[in-house]
Amino acid sequence: MIDVEDLIALVRNYNPRSNADLIRRAYAYGMQMHEGQFRKSGEPYFTHPVAVAAILTEQQLDDATIVTALLHDTIEDTKSTYSEVERLFGTEVAELVDGVTKLTNLQLSSTESQQAENFRKLLMAMSKDLRVILVKLADRLHNMRTIRSMKPEKQAQKARETMEIYAPLAGRMGMQWMREELEDLAFKVLNPEARNSIIRRFLTLQKEAGDVVHKITADIRTELEKVQIEASVYGRAKKPYSIWRKMQEKDLAFSRLSDIYGFRVICGSVADCYRILGVIHQRWRAVPGRFKDYISQPKNNGYRSIHTTVSGRDGKRVEVQIRTREMHEVAEAGVAAHWSYREGVRAKNPFAVDPAKWIASLTERLDEEDHDEFLEHVKLEMYSDQVFCFTPKGDVVQLPRGATPLDYAYSIHTRIGNSCVSAKVDGIRVPLWTRLKNGQSVEIITAEGQRPQASWIDIVTTGRAKAAIRRSLREEDRGRFVRLGQELVRAAFEHVGKKATDKALRTAAKMLGVADEVDLLARLGSAELTARKVVETLYPELSLTVTEEVDTARPVVGLDDSQTFRRAECCQPLPGERIVGIAYRGQGVVIHAIDCPALEEFEEQPARWVDLHWHSGRHKAVNTVSLEITISNDAGVLGRVCTLIGEQKANISDLRFTERKPDFYRVIVDVDLRDVEHLHMVMTALEAETDVAQVARHRDVTRKP
């Protein structure tokens, strides 16, 4: 365990004005509080907080953060309290320790909905003071370094959590060294065979090719000396997990994998960075498509550097990163560079990002999203690399790798995204699913009346775009659901001789725990609730009447015993819809939906109108309705559509194609249904299918009744 004076010396190496007395008191208090506690390895527990504090000294952090590291487990694991820590060490330290305690209690590897809520809490804690997550990351790093003393199942759980959450978060904060070490430590637990295999292959490669890193480093230094540029050159083999991930992504064997060595050139000025780039490209051939200029277009965590990949000695591909010393400090510390101290004062690095602005960019719009969307957005933000595109006016738009013109449109404004109809990239019209590349100029073409399509969800990459599309679709669906719900509840109430008044619906909503009558109607329309349930809630004594099965021979009320009937082919009315009969001499009565356009020709013949309504109760699935469905022209899509209809207990009686295109088919499917609720269940199931672009009820007014 590091002695308190050694810890103070580590801090004073970068902060000679450090408050040594504060650190001594925190060290003594932490040791006292954890006395008698031991880690799984058998070591005194206090060795862990001291090791976490030492990790944070490597990032040259302030006294409050170092003291927080020494005390970070006291409130959770000892008899210490918030008020006592505040009294002894001040409000700033107490709030930081309390923040770390709350993060420790979050179960980030729990179920999806809990994980989303806990992610939200994690980001809220970060937004109050980012130093909380710096302590937590150092805590996780030391725990991963000493994970072997845990039970195997606990090791696996902690390693997965590290790989999914903490490593990406460290990377997003610009602390790439910590991300790589966390990933590699987790990889060692989760897939030790793969890691050992890569290490063995590395050793074999070194025996065959010699010390490649030393040779290439010397080559770069020689070239720089020729043009008299002063710079430090470092080289290393990439971490086993980084290599394994590339093998998986590119589906390559180790022997075919290039770019497994990385080199870094650190110089004195931005001008030197570009001169060095020229020297390297003159000496070695640049690999097309592998050049990134993060100096002119920095990442939003402050990272600046030039990346280029070249074919080096013996044709081996190597990545070279070129940056100034100030840029290197930010590249090593990331967002933490904001708190770094040098010579007793906070280092004023011009490239360090304001943590408040950084966390605001990460958490923007997250309050508007539900759990699943929130989690999706956060993970996209965590894992994304970036591309930089230009507006027609030359402004830069920063997007994650894999972004499309739709993502670009939504990044400008939600209204532009919602009304987007096409896009031009570098002046050429392209499909909306095109993946954008660095440096491209993008122009969005909009049209009034355009609305987001359900298929856009699968096209876009950013959380912002996905959230905006879902919100628009929900609003559009909600209006349709409310209208359908009104019809369903009206018919259900009429069946039992009641009226669906606003007061009755408000009462039902309250009894069912729904916000209000509008929300109740929306849930009815979306099949989350049934009209039968609403009636039974208000009038339980009438429930038997509602569930009684209807005789298919006489499903309507209002006909004489001698009158025959049939459903009109033009509008195909269903139980649950308002209907009217039109009498034909010698042919009985034809039943129409009340809104059927065919009824216009009978307006001057009131004697032929017959007042009808459907029998209450459960109708059999014998009422045929035609659905017009637009589907992707892909293998298996039609089969899935038929399966979905069957899963809703509906029978397909006929199917015909009306349009065949290279990318889509349009079909009319005749389905036998019980009532309007059954129809909506089928349509909802179809609309949820990714490969179904559109589904609508097909009513052919040209067909004779």
Whether 310 and 285 have beta carbons less than 8 Å apart is answered as yes
Give the per-residue pLDDT at 545. 45
Residue-level pLDDT at 476 = 77
- 463 has pLDDT over 80: no
Q: How much of the chain, in percent, has pLDDT values that exceed 70?
A: 86
Looking at residues 613-625, what average pLDDT do you find? 89
Residues forming beta bridges with residue 423, ordered by sequence position: 430, 444
Please report, to the nearest 10 degrees, the dihedral formed by the alpha carbons of residues 444, 446, 451, 454 taken in order.
Answer: -30
Query: What is the spatial distance between Cα 376 and Cα 382, in angstroms, rounded to a whole number?
Result: 10
**Top-ranked range on mean pLDDT: pick from 156-160, 273-277, 333-337:** 273-277
Instruction: Please say whether the beta carbons of 179 and 138 come within 8 A.
Output: no
Q: Which residues of 475-498 are buried (b: 16+ CB within 10 A; e: fewer)?
A: eebbeebbebbebbbbbbbbbbee
CA dist 557 → 550, 575, 579, 581 (Å): 11, 11, 11, 11
SS3 489: helix
Q: Is the pLDDT of residue 256 over 70?
A: no
Q: Give the model's pLDDT for residue 5.
A: 93
**pLDDT of res. 55:** 93
Q: Predicted confidence band at 124 (pLDDT cuts at 50, 70, 90)?
A: low
Q: Residue 344 above 80 pLDDT?
A: no
Mean pLDDT of 420-429: 90
The average confidence (pLDDT) of the chain is 83
Residue 501 is predicted with a pLDDT of: 87
pLDDT of residue 603: 86
State mean pLDDT over 256-281.
Answer: 86
Highest mean pLDDT among 442-446, 515-519, 658-662: 442-446
From 63-67, 131-135, 185-189, 323-327, the region with the lowest mean pLDDT:
131-135
Instruction: State the Cα–Cα distance between residues 169 and 382, nearest whole angstrom.
Output: 6
What sign does the CA torsion over 150, 151, 152, 158 have? negative
- The residues, ordered by sequence, that sit 6+ positions from 700 with a Cβ below 8 Å of its Cβ are 569, 570, 626
pLDDT of residue 314: 64
- pLDDT bin (cut points 50, 70, 90) of residue 371 is very low
Whole-angstrom distance, CA of residue 86 vs CA of residue 553: 81
Q: What residue ranges define each of the domains in the chain, with the CATH number in brackets? A: 4-190 (1.10.3210.10), 194-346 (3.30.460.10), 471-547 (no CATH), 548-705 (3.30.70.260)
Catalytic residues: 76-77
CA distance 308 to 286: 7
The predicted pLDDT at position 515 comes to 82
Question: What is the per-residue pLDDT for 207?
Answer: 73
Least confident among 259-273, 434-448, 477-491, 506-520: 477-491
> How many CA atoms are closer than 13 Å to the CA of 599, on its beta-carbon side?
18
- Output b/e per residue, 199-217; b: 16+ Cβ within 10 A: eebbeebeeeeeebbeebb
Instruction: Kindly tell me if the per-residue pLDDT of 366 is higher than 80.
Output: no
- Checking if the pLDDT of 112 tops 60, the result is no
Relative to beta strand 623-632, strand 609-611 is: unpaired
Output the pLDDT for position 120.
61
In the prediction, which pLDDT does 546 show? 44
Residues in Cβ contact with 517 at an 8 Å cutoff, skipping those fewer than 6 apart: 502, 505, 506, 508, 509
Residue range 56-70: mean pLDDT, rounded: 91
pLDDT computed for residue 67 by the predictor: 94
**pLDDT band for position 237 (cuts 50, 70, 90):** confident
The pLDDT tens digits for 2-56 are 889 999 999 998 888 889 999 999 999 999 999 999 888 888 999 999 999 999 9
- Region 256-272: mean pLDDT is 82
Does the pLDDT of residue 251 top 80, yes or no?
A: no
Euclidean distance between the first and the last CA atom of the chain, given in angstroms as a whole number: 91
**What is the percent of the chain where pLDDT is above 90?**
30
Query: In this structure, what DSSP letter does residue 315 have?
Result: G
Is the whole-model pTM more than 0.85? no
pLDDT at 684 over 70: yes
Number of residues that make up the chain: 705
C-alpha–C-alpha distance, residues 686 and 379, integer Å: 29
Token digits for 34? 């954890």
Q: Is the pLDDT of residue 315 over 60?
A: yes
